Amino acid sequence: MFLSDIELSSFILPIVLGISIGLLFALKRNSKNLKVTYLTPEEFRANMRKGQLIDIRIKEEYEKEKINGARNFPKKEALRSLHLLRTDQPVFIYAESDRGLIKSLGRKLLKKGFPVVYVLIGGLENWPYSKK
């Protein structure tokens, strides 16, 4: 009834390898650079079509004026709506201004697996281009 050494090793080896590989992936993911990148309005405009443009202001503000092509995910709903965003594309986010809340949302997006998050310096109030 007891397992021989050969039978026991055939169970233990895959378990140890699986745990080791899992730890390596976890360490690699946690060491990822979780810095939000700030862009000037010029840089933001030049690159925003290469990713997903997200306005995190409340719906009423979004409906009054926005950057053309932006989708609205209010700050409080943004994390609940992640299934609507593609994780293989960069995210370009803006609010009325670039206060600390937008930076914390950007870090959360990075932790959820988005490759890079860009924030508009100064927010919409600093946007010199036409708005919709």
Residue 122 CA to residue 94 CA, distance in Å, equals: 9
One domain for residues 43 and 79: yes
Q: What pLDDT is attached to residue 51? A: 94
One domain for residues 98 and 67: yes
Is the residue at 132 inside a domain? no
**Secondary element (H or E) of residue 55:** strand 52-55
pTM: 0.71
pLDDT in tens, 44-70: 999 999 999 999 999 999 999 999 999
pLDDT > 90: what percent of the chain?
42
Q: Which domain holds residue 76?
A: 37-126
CA separation (Å) from 128 to 67, 101, 104, 125? 11, 22, 25, 8
DSSP class of residue 12 equals H
Is the residue at 131 inside a domain? no
DSSP assignment of 65-128 = ---TT-EE--HHHHGGGGGGS-TTS-EEEE-SS--HHHHHHHHHHHHTT-S-EEEETT-GGG--
Asked if residue 132 has pLDDT above 60, the reply is yes
Is the residue at 5 inside a domain? yes
Which stretch of 18-22, 34-38, 58-62, 98-102 has the lowest confidence by average pLDDT? Answer: 18-22
Residue 4 makes CB contacts below 8 A (sequence gap 6+) with none
Asked if residue 121 has pLDDT above 90, the reply is yes
Is the residue at 82 inside a domain? yes
